[in-house]
Amino acid sequence: MPIDPNVAKRRRVTESRQRNAAAFLEVELNHVSLWRGARRVLRDLHWRVRPGERWLLQGGNGAGKTQLLKLIAGDVWPQPDRKEQRLYRINAEEFSEPWLVREHIAYLGAERQDRYEHYHWNHRVLSVIATGRQRTDIPLAPPSRAMRTELLALLRSLGLLSFARRRFLTLSYGERRLVLLARALAWQPRLLLLDEPLNGLDARNRQRFLQILRKLQATPLPIVYATHRLEEAPDDLTHRALLQEGRLRTLPWPEQKVRVRVQSSRPSGSRRGASAPRASTSLLRLRTATLWREGRKVLRGLSLEIRSGERIVVHGANGSGKSTLLGALHGEFPVASGAQLWRLGTPPGAPLYEFQHTIGRVSPELQLALPRQQSALQTVVAGLRGSFMLDAPATAAQRRRAARALRLVGAAALARREFGSLSYGQARRVLFARALALGPRILLLDEPYTGLDAATRAALRALIDGPALRKLAIVMATHHRDDWPDWVSQEIELAGGVVRYCGPARRAPQRS
């Protein structure tokens, strides 16, 4: 009886994986606990990741997913204990310390990406990719001709060749994420750790990212993939791990795959497409504006009016200028001469900070810029003063106002925690509180739900759509159609530095 060619092909792939598996990392954790300050993040954790396995790592905000990945990578250390073990096996050798195998582990996440902004590592993209091959944080030497040729081929295969000579910090948030994926692949890792890897990517680049992972199916490369958006999980995951209250439970992926695929990221009862509340006062008008950023013309020919009560959504591909537009509305980026710009209550010559104090803002850049040693409450109070850091003790009135804002976003329990000790999603709640504590007229939200679990996204969406914020003008930049407010009055689509559409919100979904 002839052998089915598909069966034979799968058999060959399996045999190849088994032969090569020894060259990839196996990680085993036993009795591992982790403390961050006075808080216990992981409790007596047991876990084993073998070559050929693709793990989905889940858990709510603050569950400890990022800390677990950093612990595996050797960036944080567990609580010393006689029973505690971290074992790494490769090529029939076993190591008990991660620093002995760190060069074989590639880790991609928000904190790693933020380091480039924090330390102003503004190297050219090709040099950033080369650090993956050299396994360093910053370029130590120019790549050789052979390495340069190889890395350019990698960029070409990922559709990123046009970025090669660009400076890293001139890229959009999503474009930076793609470059760091290329860096992780250039690393040629034996273990790949991905922490919310699709954050900031438009629909096309999310599919591109997943396609890249799909090409790794034929290899025994073990992958741990942490995400809050189950609809964005790769199709070839084999196992599932769930972190709850510091404890890890494992389940085989096939038992859960069908169930999680049908979950919706939008709560039921959405009134998508309904009419917006009646707008009233004009707050900001912009006519024929051209915007520059880092010496590059990013947007041109932009005209926009923002009125109280409006909900405006900005979307477009990575690098189209969404963040630059919101930054310009806040006053962070200047508008080129020749444009008309009017702000309510800010006559010509008036200090810009007076208008900025009427604007609440949530963005990845702001989250990165805030001091890590302040408490969440102090972070909100500093926002009331229009600063990043407190320069004097908070008054009783300011503390009460900040506490109310934290309660409003469900973050009251975080008030005394250091901002730097919070998970990415918890810190995002504090940013919402900081923005709303101002009692703003305009709320600027740049990918506001990045890093948030489903429950937190639903709670903040309900707040945005609820009566408490009905009089605010809200401008939201997002790649996810499901993140749009229920009431949308205007839609702005950006493409290639120009406004492709600006007008009443269209009902048909637009790909961004």
CB 250 within 8 A of CB 286: no
Per-residue model confidence (pLDDT) at position 308: 93
Per-residue model confidence (pLDDT) at position 263: 37
DSSP, residue by residue, 109-137: -HHHHHHHHHTT---BHHHHHHHHHHT-S
Instruction: Produce one character per residue of 299-317: b if its CB has 16 or more CB atoms within 10 Å, e if not.
Output: bbebebebbbbbbbbbbbb
Q: Containing domain of residue 359, as a range? A: 282-504
DSSP, residue by residue, 257-275: HHHHHT--SS-TT--TTBP
Q: How many domains does the chain have?
A: 1
CB 197 within 8 A of CB 209: yes
In this structure, which long-range contacts are made by residues 502-507, counting pairs with CB atoms below 8 Å and at least 24 apart in sequence? 502/302, 502/303, 502/304, 505/273, 505/313, 507/273
Rounded to an integer, what is the distance from CA 215 to the centroid of its chain?
23
Other C-beta atoms lying within 10 Å of the C-beta of residue 498: 14
Per-residue model confidence (pLDDT) at position 456: 92
Rounded to an integer, what is the distance from CA 129 to the centroid of its chain?
20
Task: Spell out the alpha helix ranges (H) of 74-172.
Answer: 110-118, 125-134, 145-157
Taking each continuous run of H as one helix and of E as one strand, the counts in the chain are: 15, 19
Residue entry with tokens 């109070």: 381
Residues 481, 482, 488: CA angle, nearest 5 degrees? 70
Q: Which two tokens stand for residue 349?
A: 């010559």
**Closest residue by Cα to residue 9 from 155, 191, 175, 218:** 218
Residue 123 in any domain: the answer is no
Residue 462 in any domain: the answer is yes
Q: Which two tokens stand for residue 338?
A: 């020749």
- DSSP helix/strand/coil, 232: helix
Which residues touch 3 (CB under 8 Å, ≥6 apart)? none
**Closest residue by Cα to residue 452 from 509, 402, 488, 411:** 411
Tell me the CA distances in angstroms from 340 to 114, 285, 324, 337, 498, one per residue in order.
34, 8, 17, 8, 17
Answer positive or negative: Cα dihedral of 277, 282, 286, 292: negative
CB 109 within 8 A of CB 196: yes
User: How do the pLDDT tens digits run along the chain, 512 residues long?
Assistant: 455 555 555 555 555 555 567 789 999 999 999 998 788 999 999 999 999 999 999 999 999 999 999 999 999 888 787 788 999 999 989 999 888 899 999 999 988 898 998 899 999 999 999 999 999 999 988 999 999 999 999 999 888 999 999 999 999 888 999 999 999 999 999 999 999 999 889 998 899 889 888 888 888 999 999 999 888 888 888 899 999 989 999 876 544 443 433 333 343 333 444 455 565 799 998 888 888 777 777 888 788 899 999 999 999 999 898 998 998 888 887 777 666 778 887 776 667 778 888 999 999 989 989 999 999 999 999 999 999 998 889 999 999 999 999 999 999 999 999 999 999 899 999 999 999 999 999 999 999 998 899 999 999 999 999 999 999 999 999 999 999 999 899 999 999 888 899 989 986 555 45
Residue 40 in any domain: the answer is no
Per-residue model confidence (pLDDT) at position 267: 39
Helix (H) or strand (E) holding 107: strand 105-108
CB 313 within 8 A of CB 490: yes
- What are the backbone dihedrals phi and psi of residue 362, each rounded to the nearest 5 degrees, phi first? -130, 125
Per-residue model confidence (pLDDT) at position 231: 85
Strands 239-244, 442-446: pairing kind:
unpaired
Residue 353 one-letter amino acid? Y
Query: Residues 238-282: pLDDT tens digits?
Result: 899 999 989 999 876 544 443 433 333 343 333 444 455 565 799
Instruction: Produce one character per residue of 171-196: b if its CB has 16 or more CB atoms within 10 Å, e if not.
Output: bbbbbbbbbbbbbbbbbebbbbbbbb
Residue entry with tokens 């480039």: 116
Residue 211 in any domain: the answer is no
Tell me the CA distances in angstroms from 348 to 288, 343, 345, 351, one per residue in order.
18, 9, 10, 9
- DSSP helix/strand/coil, 278: coil
CB 318 within 8 A of CB 174: yes
CATH for 457: 3.40.50.300
**Closest residue by Cα to residue 294 from 365, 230, 191, 212:** 365
